[in-house]
Amino acid sequence: MKKIFTENKVHKKMKKEKISGIIGAVVAVTVISIIFLQMSSTNEVNEQESIIKEEHDIEEEIQKKYEEIEETKNNEGFTPAKRDWQTSGPFEIERAQCLLGANIFVRINALAPNEKGQIAFMRPLNDTHYSTYITIAFDGSSKITFNQYFKPALSSARKICTTNDLIGNWAVVFQGTNYENLSFEIIDKFIPGDEEHYKDAC
């Protein structure tokens, strides 16, 4: 009888230890899950803050450029053309017509996660043929919104020798997507003060 009671006691003790072990494991898994979720949340917040900061920096840079143009306008009687955003899906080009010396601004808004490719800016060679001037990569799985700009310039290495190699209707092609192409025209007029940067390069 004493043996049965002892075995019963040992069995109950083992059962309690087993339950304690299971409870301990559940608590450990819960704590680890909470820590992991907090770390993921922190990473997402940091990533969002980084994107917002980057967009803010670019917006500040764009604003600074406009202030420079405004100052030039006041000094030399120059009035920049009004913005008229050309749009194709999530892509926007700032103007339909640009002066020599102007920055070409592009905005990308709310890319889908599966949208990945390149924006190809094609300068005209003649009425039917184009040459890629610059490409800008995009990938909606890593960044859904961003802004970028570039300034078309002469280059002897690229055989872009005179302003005639920049003037005309440019095509903007969204490679890797089904979005319609956009276009803009660079006209034979300068932003005041930029003429010196467009002396023949070849």
Residues 117-135, buried b or exposed e (16+ Cβ, 10 A)?
bbbbbbbbeeeeebeebee
- What CATH number does domain 81-198 carry, 2.60.40.1930, 2.60.60.20, 3.30.56.10, 3.90.950.10? 2.60.40.1930
Interval 134-184: pLDDT, tens: 999 999 999 999 999 999 999 999 999 999 999 999 999 999 999 999 999
Interval 182-198: pLDDT, tens: 999 999 999 998 888 89
Residues 76 and 162: beta-carbon distance below 8 Å: no
For the chain, give every domain's residue range: 1-77, 81-198
Q: Which helix (DSSP H) or strand (DSSP E) does residue 136 occupy? A: strand 130-139
Q: What is the pTM of this model?
A: 0.62
Interval 65-121: pLDDT, tens: 766 766 655 555 667 777 889 999 999 999 999 999 999 999 999 999 999 999 999
Q: Which helix (DSSP H) or strand (DSSP E) does residue 149 occupy? A: strand 146-150
